[in-house]
Protein backbone atom coordinates (compact mmCIF):
# COMPACT_ATOMS: atom_id res chain seq x y z
CA UNK A 1 0.00 0.00 0.00
CA UNK A 2 1.44 3.41 -0.90
CA UNK A 3 2.47 5.61 2.00
CA UNK A 4 0.27 8.67 2.06
CA UNK A 5 1.27 12.15 3.14
CA UNK A 6 -0.92 11.93 6.24
CA UNK A 7 0.75 8.69 7.35
CA UNK A 8 4.19 10.27 6.96
CA UNK A 9 3.11 13.23 9.04
CA UNK A 10 1.75 10.98 11.75
CA UNK A 11 4.86 8.84 11.87
CA UNK A 12 7.08 11.89 12.05
CA UNK A 13 5.07 13.29 14.92
CA UNK A 14 5.23 9.94 16.74
CA UNK A 15 8.98 9.85 16.21
CA UNK A 16 9.37 13.35 17.59
CA UNK A 17 7.02 13.12 20.54
CA UNK A 18 6.68 9.52 21.65
CA UNK A 19 9.88 7.61 21.01
CA UNK A 20 12.33 6.94 23.79
CA UNK A 21 16.02 6.25 23.50
CA UNK A 22 17.44 2.90 24.53
CA UNK A 23 19.21 4.69 27.42
CA UNK A 24 15.97 6.21 28.76
CA UNK A 25 14.19 2.88 28.54
CA UNK A 26 17.07 1.03 30.18
CA UNK A 27 17.11 3.52 33.08
CA UNK A 28 13.36 3.08 33.54
CA UNK A 29 13.64 -0.71 33.63
CA UNK A 30 16.63 -0.69 35.99
CA UNK A 31 14.75 1.69 38.31
CA UNK A 32 11.73 -0.64 38.22
CA UNK A 33 13.89 -3.72 38.86
CA UNK A 34 15.86 -2.08 41.65
CA UNK A 35 15.13 -3.57 45.06
CA UNK A 36 12.76 -6.14 43.62
CA UNK A 37 13.17 -9.60 45.07
CA UNK A 38 12.10 -11.26 41.84
CA UNK A 39 12.14 -9.77 38.34
CA UNK A 40 10.37 -10.85 35.15
CA UNK A 41 10.97 -9.94 31.52
CA UNK A 42 8.35 -11.03 28.99
CA UNK A 43 8.72 -10.39 25.28
CA UNK A 44 6.39 -10.82 22.37
CA UNK A 45 8.08 -12.52 19.37
CA UNK A 46 7.09 -11.13 15.95
CA UNK A 47 7.76 -7.42 15.52
CA UNK A 48 9.46 -7.32 18.93
CA UNK A 49 12.31 -9.84 18.80
CA UNK A 50 11.93 -11.00 15.18
CA UNK A 51 11.57 -8.40 12.44
CA UNK A 52 8.27 -8.59 10.52
CA UNK A 53 8.80 -10.06 7.08
CA UNK A 54 6.50 -10.89 4.18
CA UNK A 55 6.50 -14.63 4.84
CA UNK A 56 5.71 -15.14 8.56
CA UNK A 57 6.97 -18.74 8.40
CA UNK A 58 10.50 -17.41 7.87
CA UNK A 59 10.56 -14.92 10.77
CA UNK A 60 13.66 -15.35 12.93
CA UNK A 61 15.21 -13.84 16.02
CA UNK A 62 18.78 -12.78 15.21
CA UNK A 63 21.43 -15.00 16.80
CA UNK A 64 22.93 -12.26 18.97
CA UNK A 65 19.50 -11.34 20.39
CA UNK A 66 18.63 -14.97 21.16
CA UNK A 67 21.95 -15.41 22.98
CA UNK A 68 21.42 -12.22 24.98
CA UNK A 69 17.93 -13.36 26.00
CA UNK A 70 19.31 -16.73 27.13
CA UNK A 71 22.09 -15.00 29.09
CA UNK A 72 19.46 -12.78 30.73
CA UNK A 73 17.92 -15.88 32.33
CA UNK A 74 20.96 -15.88 34.66
CA UNK A 75 20.22 -12.29 35.78
CA UNK A 76 16.41 -12.16 35.72
CA UNK A 77 14.37 -14.70 37.63
CA UNK A 78 11.74 -15.18 34.89
CA UNK A 79 12.41 -14.59 31.20
CA UNK A 80 9.47 -15.51 28.99
CA UNK A 81 8.13 -15.25 25.46
CA UNK A 82 4.39 -14.66 25.00
CA UNK A 83 3.41 -15.08 21.37
CA UNK A 84 0.44 -15.71 19.13
CA UNK A 85 2.60 -18.35 17.41
CA UNK A 86 2.36 -22.00 18.30
CA UNK A 87 4.70 -23.36 20.98
CA UNK A 88 6.61 -25.48 18.48
CA UNK A 89 7.48 -22.49 16.29
CA UNK A 90 8.94 -20.54 19.23
CA UNK A 91 10.76 -23.60 20.60
CA UNK A 92 12.30 -24.13 17.15
CA UNK A 93 13.34 -20.47 16.98
CA UNK A 94 15.45 -20.95 20.13
CA UNK A 95 16.53 -24.55 19.46
CA UNK A 96 19.91 -23.60 17.90
CA UNK A 97 20.86 -21.65 21.03
CA UNK A 98 19.91 -24.05 23.82
CA UNK A 99 22.51 -26.07 25.69
CA UNK A 100 22.44 -29.20 23.55
CA UNK A 101 20.07 -31.08 25.86
CA UNK A 102 17.17 -29.18 24.31
CA UNK A 103 16.66 -27.39 27.60
CA UNK A 104 15.52 -23.82 27.23
CA UNK A 105 15.45 -21.74 30.42
CA UNK A 106 13.15 -19.22 28.71
CA UNK A 107 9.50 -19.90 29.51
CA UNK A 108 7.46 -20.08 26.32
CA UNK A 109 3.75 -19.25 26.08
CA UNK A 110 2.50 -19.98 22.54
CA UNK A 111 -0.96 -19.30 21.08
CA UNK A 112 -1.41 -16.41 23.56
CA UNK A 113 -0.69 -18.71 26.48
CA UNK A 114 -2.84 -21.58 25.29
CA UNK A 115 0.22 -23.74 24.48
CA UNK A 116 2.90 -23.93 27.13
CA UNK A 117 4.94 -26.42 29.11
CA UNK A 118 4.23 -24.49 32.32
CA UNK A 119 2.30 -27.04 34.35
CA UNK A 120 0.87 -24.56 36.85
CA UNK A 121 -0.42 -22.32 34.06
CA UNK A 122 -2.01 -25.31 32.33
CA UNK A 123 -3.91 -26.12 35.52
CA UNK A 124 -5.48 -22.66 35.40
CA UNK A 125 -6.11 -22.37 31.65
CA UNK A 126 -7.23 -25.05 29.29
CA UNK A 127 -5.63 -25.45 25.88
CA UNK A 128 -7.77 -23.77 23.25
CA UNK A 129 -8.42 -26.00 20.29
CA UNK A 130 -10.88 -25.11 17.55
CA UNK A 131 -13.11 -27.97 16.52
CA UNK A 132 -12.34 -29.17 12.99
CA UNK A 133 -16.02 -28.91 11.97
CA UNK A 134 -16.12 -25.28 13.07
CA UNK A 135 -12.93 -24.58 11.09
CA UNK A 136 -14.52 -26.09 8.01
CA UNK A 137 -17.72 -24.05 8.45
CA UNK A 138 -15.68 -20.87 8.76
CA UNK A 139 -13.69 -21.76 5.66
CA UNK A 140 -16.95 -22.32 3.75
CA UNK A 141 -18.24 -18.93 4.87
CA UNK A 142 -15.11 -17.11 3.71
CA UNK A 143 -14.46 -19.34 0.69
CA UNK A 144 -14.44 -16.47 -1.86
CA UNK A 145 -11.62 -14.82 0.06
CA UNK A 146 -9.43 -17.79 0.89
CA UNK A 147 -7.69 -18.00 -2.50
CA UNK A 148 -6.92 -14.28 -2.51
CA UNK A 149 -4.92 -14.12 0.74
CA UNK A 150 -2.49 -16.18 2.85
CA UNK A 151 -4.32 -18.52 5.20
CA UNK A 152 -2.60 -19.87 8.32
CA UNK A 153 -4.21 -22.73 10.21
CA UNK A 154 -3.51 -23.05 13.93
CA UNK A 155 -4.82 -25.48 16.53
CA UNK A 156 -6.78 -22.61 18.07
CA UNK A 157 -8.25 -21.24 14.85
CA UNK A 158 -7.13 -19.55 11.66
CA UNK A 159 -5.33 -16.42 10.60
CA UNK A 160 -6.11 -14.40 7.48
CA UNK A 161 -2.90 -12.65 6.38
CA UNK A 162 -3.23 -9.83 3.86
CA UNK A 163 0.31 -8.39 4.12
CA UNK A 164 1.05 -9.48 0.57
CA UNK A 165 -2.43 -8.48 -0.65
CA UNK A 166 -3.10 -5.04 0.88
CA UNK A 167 -5.99 -4.31 -1.53
CA UNK A 168 -8.04 -6.96 0.28
CA UNK A 169 -7.84 -5.38 3.73
CA UNK A 170 -11.48 -4.23 3.84
CA UNK A 171 -12.72 -7.52 2.44
CA UNK A 172 -10.73 -9.46 5.07
CA UNK A 173 -11.98 -7.31 7.95
CA UNK A 174 -15.61 -7.60 6.91
CA UNK A 175 -15.30 -11.37 6.36
CA UNK A 176 -13.76 -11.72 9.84
CA UNK A 177 -16.59 -9.67 11.31
CA UNK A 178 -19.13 -11.88 9.54
CA UNK A 179 -17.47 -14.97 11.01
CA UNK A 180 -17.42 -13.44 14.50
CA UNK A 181 -21.11 -12.53 14.15
CA UNK A 182 -22.02 -16.03 12.95
CA UNK A 183 -19.91 -18.37 15.11
CA UNK A 184 -18.66 -18.39 18.72
CA UNK A 185 -15.21 -17.13 17.76
CA UNK A 186 -13.06 -14.17 18.70
CA UNK A 187 -11.78 -11.75 16.12
CA UNK A 188 -8.28 -10.56 17.03
CA UNK A 189 -6.55 -8.01 14.83
CA UNK A 190 -2.87 -8.20 14.06
CA UNK A 191 -0.53 -6.30 11.80
CA UNK A 192 -1.90 -6.96 8.28
CA UNK A 193 -3.69 -10.03 9.62
CA UNK A 194 -6.85 -11.06 11.40
CA UNK A 195 -7.00 -14.05 13.69
CA UNK A 196 -10.20 -15.99 14.27
CA UNK A 197 -9.87 -18.01 17.41
CA UNK A 198 -12.05 -20.01 19.78
CA UNK A 199 -14.04 -17.99 22.28
CA UNK A 200 -12.77 -18.18 25.85
CA UNK A 201 -9.20 -18.30 24.58
CA UNK A 202 -6.40 -17.27 26.93
CA UNK A 203 -4.74 -13.99 26.16
CA UNK A 204 -1.40 -12.46 27.01
CA UNK A 205 -3.01 -10.76 30.02
CA UNK A 206 -3.45 -14.25 31.52
CA UNK A 207 0.27 -14.85 31.01
CA UNK A 208 1.13 -11.59 32.81
CA UNK A 209 -1.24 -12.46 35.67
CA UNK A 210 0.44 -15.83 36.07
CA UNK A 211 4.00 -14.51 35.97
CA UNK A 212 3.16 -11.60 38.28
CA UNK A 213 2.34 -14.23 40.89
CA UNK A 214 6.04 -15.10 40.97
CA UNK A 215 7.66 -11.69 40.37
CA UNK A 216 7.33 -8.24 41.88
CA UNK A 217 8.71 -6.29 38.91
CA UNK A 218 7.33 -7.27 35.53
CA UNK A 219 8.53 -5.78 32.23
CA UNK A 220 6.61 -6.52 29.05
CA UNK A 221 7.77 -5.66 25.52
CA UNK A 222 5.36 -5.88 22.57
CA UNK A 223 4.24 -4.25 19.36
CA UNK A 224 0.77 -5.36 18.25
CA UNK A 225 -2.94 -5.66 19.03
CA UNK A 226 -2.43 -9.01 20.76
CA UNK A 227 -0.14 -7.26 23.28
CA UNK A 228 -2.80 -4.83 24.50
CA UNK A 229 -4.14 -7.33 27.07
CA UNK A 230 -0.59 -7.78 28.39
CA UNK A 231 0.05 -4.03 28.62
CA UNK A 232 -3.26 -3.51 30.42
CA UNK A 233 -2.28 -6.09 33.05
CA UNK A 234 1.27 -4.80 33.39
CA UNK A 235 0.06 -1.22 33.82
CA UNK A 236 -2.74 -1.88 36.26
CA UNK A 237 -2.55 -5.37 37.64
CA UNK A 238 1.06 -5.79 38.67
CA UNK A 239 3.07 -4.18 41.43
CA UNK A 240 6.11 -3.04 39.48
CA UNK A 241 4.83 -2.91 35.90
CA UNK A 242 7.07 -1.73 33.07
CA UNK A 243 5.58 -1.47 29.59
CA UNK A 244 7.73 -1.06 26.49
CA UNK A 245 6.16 -0.72 23.03
CA UNK A 246 7.92 -1.29 19.74
CA UNK A 247 7.19 1.35 17.15
CA UNK A 248 6.85 0.70 13.45
CA UNK A 249 4.64 2.28 10.80
CA UNK A 250 2.13 -0.49 11.55
CA UNK A 251 2.02 -0.04 15.33
CA UNK A 252 -1.64 0.10 16.47
CA UNK A 253 -2.36 3.66 17.69
CA UNK A 254 -4.03 2.13 20.79
CA UNK A 255 -0.61 1.07 22.03
CA UNK A 256 0.91 4.55 22.26
CA UNK A 257 -0.82 5.44 25.51
CA UNK A 258 -0.37 2.03 27.07
CA UNK A 259 3.42 2.05 26.93
CA UNK A 260 5.66 3.86 29.39
CA UNK A 261 8.45 3.63 26.84
CA UNK A 262 8.39 3.24 23.06
CA UNK A 263 11.44 2.06 21.14
CA UNK A 264 11.87 2.30 17.40
CA UNK A 265 11.97 -1.15 15.89
CA UNK A 266 13.33 -4.57 16.77
CA UNK A 267 16.97 -3.45 16.51
CA UNK A 268 16.38 -1.04 19.41
CA UNK A 269 14.84 -3.89 21.43
CA UNK A 270 17.93 -6.02 20.78
CA UNK A 271 20.15 -3.14 21.86
CA UNK A 272 18.06 -2.64 25.01
CA UNK A 273 18.33 -6.31 25.94
CA UNK A 274 22.11 -6.29 25.44
CA UNK A 275 22.44 -3.13 27.57
CA UNK A 276 20.18 -4.64 30.21
CA UNK A 277 22.35 -7.77 30.33
CA UNK A 278 25.47 -5.62 30.69
CA UNK A 279 23.95 -3.52 33.48
CA UNK A 280 22.52 -6.44 35.47
CA UNK A 281 25.65 -8.59 35.21
CA UNK A 282 27.76 -5.58 36.20
CA UNK A 283 25.61 -4.87 39.25
CA UNK A 284 25.80 -8.57 40.23
CA UNK A 285 29.61 -8.32 40.04
CA UNK A 286 29.57 -5.15 42.12
CA UNK A 287 27.70 -6.80 44.98
MG1 LIG B 1 4.19 -8.88 17.73
Over residues 74-82, the mean pLDDT reads 97
- Report how far ligand 1's centroid is from the alpha carbon of 271 (Å): 17
Measured in angstroms, how far is the CA atom of residue 121 from the centroid of ligand 1?
A: 22
Q: How far is the CA of 284 from the centre of ligand 1 (A)?
A: 31
Could you please state the CATH topology (level 3) that the domain comprising 5-127+202-286 is classified under.
Answer: Rossmann fold (3.40.50)
Intervals of CATH 3.40.50.1000 along the chain: 5-127+202-286
Band the pLDDT of 12: cuts 50, 70, 90: confident
Which residue intervals of the chain bear CATH 3.30.70? 132-198
Average pLDDT, the chain: 90
Task: Please report which confidence band the pLDDT of residue 102 belongs to, taking 50, 70 and 90 as the band edges.
Answer: low
Question: How far away, in angstroms, is 253 Cα from ligand 1 center?
Answer: 14
What is the three-class DSSP state of 221?
Answer: strand
For residue range 40-72, what is the model confidence (pLDDT) as tens digits? 999 999 999 999 998 888 999 999 999 999 999
Give the Å distance between the CA of 202 and the centre of ligand 1. Answer: 16
The pLDDT of 145-159, averaged and rounded, is 91
Residues 44, 39: Cα–Cα separation, whole Å: 17
Compute, in angstroms, the gap from residue 37 CA to the centroid of ligand 1: 29
Q: Tell me the CA–centroid distance for residue 265 and ligand 1, in Å.
A: 11
Distance of alpha carbon 230 from alpha carbon 236, whole angstroms: 10
Q: What is the 35 CA–ligand 1 centroid distance (Å)? A: 30
Fold of 132-198: Alpha-Beta Plaits (3.30.70)
Lowest mean pLDDT among 1-15, 194-208, 232-246: 1-15
pLDDT-based confidence at residue 4 (cuts at 50, 70, 90):
very low
Split at pLDDT 50, 70, 90, the class of 238 is low
Distance, CA 84 to ligand 1 centroid (Å)? 8
CA of 222 from ligand 1 middle (Å) equals 6
Q: What's the 285 CA to ligand 1 centre distance in angstroms?
A: 34
pLDDT at 2 over 50: no
Distance 30 CA to ligand 1 centre (A): 24
Ligand 1 centroid, distance to 152 Cα (angstroms) = 16
Amino acid sequence: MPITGTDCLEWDSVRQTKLNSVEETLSGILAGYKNSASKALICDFDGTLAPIINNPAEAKIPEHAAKVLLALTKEIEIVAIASGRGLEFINNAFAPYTDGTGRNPIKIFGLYGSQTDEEEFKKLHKTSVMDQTLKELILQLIAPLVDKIDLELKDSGLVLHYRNYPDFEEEVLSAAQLVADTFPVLFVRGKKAVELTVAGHTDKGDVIDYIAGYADAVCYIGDDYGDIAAFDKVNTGTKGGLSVGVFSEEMPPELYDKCQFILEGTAAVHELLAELLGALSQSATDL
